[in-house]
Amino acid sequence: MRAVDAVMECLKAEGVDVVFGLPGGANLPTYDAFYDAGIRHVLVRHEAGGGHAAEGYAKATGKVGVALATSGPGATNLVTPIADAMMDSVPVVFITGQVRTELLGTDGFQEADTMGITLPIVKHSFMIQHPLEIPRAIHEAFHIARTGRPGPVVIDIPQDLSRAEIAYEPVLDVSLPGYQPTVEGNQKQIRQAANALASARRPVIYAGGGVINSGASAELVELATSDRFPVTCTLMGLGGFPGTHAQWLGMLGMHGTRAANYAMDEADLICAVGARFDDRITGKLAEFAPHAKFIHIDIDPAEISKNVPAHIPIVGDARHVLRKLVAEYRALEPDPERLRDWWARIEAWKAEHPLRYEDSTDAEIKPQYLVQALYEATDGQAIVVSDVGQHQMWTAQYYHFTRPRQWINSGGLGTMGFGLPAGMGAKVGSPDDTVCVIAGDGSIQMNSQELATCVQEQIAVKVFIMNNGYLGMVRQWQELFWDHRYSQVDMGEHPDFVKLAEAYGATGLRFTDKASLVEDIRAAIATPGTVVADVRVTREENTYPMIAPGAAARDMVG
């Protein structure tokens, strides 16, 4: 069969039921194979949309997402999704077309050095040099993308090689001598961690996206409740621990709760699980958690002691390690009373500093209220996909996620334009769930073309644009740190999002009244098909609380 038909067989063998992509010259053979391969193909309107859709699909389902693009501009349009998937450890396989081998390096039409351009932002990549390499490369790509610390893998296939006739044999064994992720944690280290937890008087569990990726949420709850450990999650970890749980402190970091940040600041032991001490978590590194010893559980050894030196490093998969840690901890039968003072302190912070904002006294919709209304209208059960900016932080604060993979956003790279296509991918992967996209009026315009894809493919995402007419987060920083000099952040009332939605064949709505907002959102969600609601919110509202850049957690403002 043709090599491209072998590609289809490989995709099916990997359990791929949908791919996102856009055809072009160099991947014409691949698209010919899709014609009757029996794999669902979602035709996106821009390759970046396809890349983010594959990410959204992967984040919602835990399966490997697949995105395709042609050579040159098609591949370069994938650069942002690839970088995004790398930063947030999202398993996606990107298959790009390349010019014919005889044209390589000659500035051929639509030629770009896809391998070279993407090299620093991939977990791994394959440049196919012989058609017979293709099946093995595809299986290796899926294996690498989904195992260990997940991430993006690029396969670049020159057009002529993809047309070659090859004898296809299924590849059943994938073994990579240089790639052996450590899954089981070191038992001795785990025992030491259990001992440290048992003697800690002010412990905090700090969990990140690794808990979601390894499917360790149940184990995390298990560990937390094997005593009364307070738990906080990073932006990427939300949903990994129920946001309604009594031991929940709220998110930590730059826009986290005071309870979470103060607890980190005063903790004597911090147990980090699948988190990487990002600068948005630590604030001023030299003053981060100054009294704490650190247990650091991560599948990626390069994360251990990268930013904060770990006293008890444990390299391994969070689920495996937490299971063992719970068993070790229970065997110690520590005295739960020792945490009483610590909880009294935490409860006082919680009572004194809940998340709050000044609500309007008229019909005006405060952006925070929009998130609360969405939470109420969906009974807290929707999959919520956000874009990047103030709305993202408010959603993280006010929508209390209770299950993993319920919250999808671009954390590490902070990619505006992520929301709509990722929501589209999430809905495709999880069709029975209500999928709501919360976007800013700035972000949505970076990939609004995917509304066409949603309508054509009948992908019923419900988009809520938190419209304040500003690039809000930048405006907030200019207000707070740059003397109110608002430079290039005012977006006015352009475009008319209702008309835009209608032009694409979606339902366009506009909400301006607080009083009916919950009902309006319910009605929007009940409306069949793709819905875009332009929600007019307070123009200048700041995201608080906040650890100012370069400041320590205890000096939070707002």
Partner 1 sequence: MGEPGTKTPLSLEELDAAVGLRTGRKHVLSILVENRPGVLTRIAGLFARRGFNIETLTVGPTDDEKFSRITLTVDGALHPIDQVTKQLHKLVNVLKIRDLEPAGTVTRELALFKVAAEAQARSEILEFTEVFRGRVVDTTKRSVTVEVTGDSEKIDAFERVVRTYGLIEMMRTGEIAMSRGRTET
Q: Which residues bind partner 1 (CB under 8 A)?
A: 115-116, 119-120, 123-125, 127, 129, 144, 176-179, 279, 300-302, 306, 473-474, 477, 481-483, 548-550
The least CB distance from residue 94 to partner 1, in Å, is 16
Which tokens hold the place of 399?
A: 């929508």
The least CB distance from residue 542 to partner 1, in Å, is 14
Q: Which is nearer to partner 1, 17 or 300 (CB)?
A: 300
The label of the residue with tokens 């961690």 reads 193
Q: Which is nearer to partner 1, 46 or 124 (CB)?
A: 124
Return the DSSP state at 35.
T
The least CB distance from residue 316 to partner 1, in Å, is 15
The least CB distance from residue 198 to partner 1, in Å, is 30
d(CA 66, CA 74): 15
Cα 495 → chain centroid: 28
Q: Which is nearer to partner 1, 125 or 162 (CB)?
A: 125
Q: Which is nearer to partner 1, 429 or 545 (CB)?
A: 545
The least CB distance from residue 104 to partner 1, in Å, is 12
Q: Which is nearer to partner 1, 109 or 481 (CB)?
A: 481
Amino acid type, 507: T
Q: Which is nearer to partner 1, 306 or 353 (CB)?
A: 306
Collapsing DSSP to helix, strand or coil, 205 comes out as strand
Q: Which is nearer to partner 1, 285 or 503 (CB)?
A: 285
d(CA 542, CA 371): 15
The least CB distance from residue 279 to partner 1, in Å, is 6
Return the DSSP state at 403.
S
The least CB distance from residue 290 to partner 1, in Å, is 19
Write phi, then psi, for 41 (nearest 5 degrees): -120, 125
The label of the residue with tokens 């905090």 reads 204
Q: Which is nearer to partner 1, 63 or 143 (CB)?
A: 143
Dihedral sign computed on CA atoms, order 172, 173, 176, 180: positive
Q: Which is nearer to partner 1, 127 or 498 (CB)?
A: 127
Ranges of H-type helices in 353-496: 367-377, 390-398, 419-429, 450-456, 472-481
Dihedral sign computed on CA atoms, order 453, 458, 460, 465: positive
Question: Which of 461-495 are b and which e, b meaning 16 or more Cβ less than 10 Å from the residue's Cβ?
Answer: bbbbbbbbbbbbbbbbebeeeeeeeeeebebeeee
d(CA 251, CA 66): 31
* 305 CB-near residues (< 8 Å, 6+ apart): 296, 313
The least CB distance from residue 509 to partner 1, in Å, is 32
d(CA 145, CA 152): 6
Q: Which of 416, 412, 463, 458 is nearest to 435 (CA)?
A: 463
The least CB distance from residue 120 to partner 1, in Å, is 5
The least CB distance from residue 126 to partner 1, in Å, is 9
Return the DSSP state at 37.
T
Q: What is the dihedral of CA 301, 306, 309, 313, to 10 degrees?
A: -10
Q: Which is nearer to partner 1, 144 or 509 (CB)?
A: 144
d(CA 268, CA 435): 40
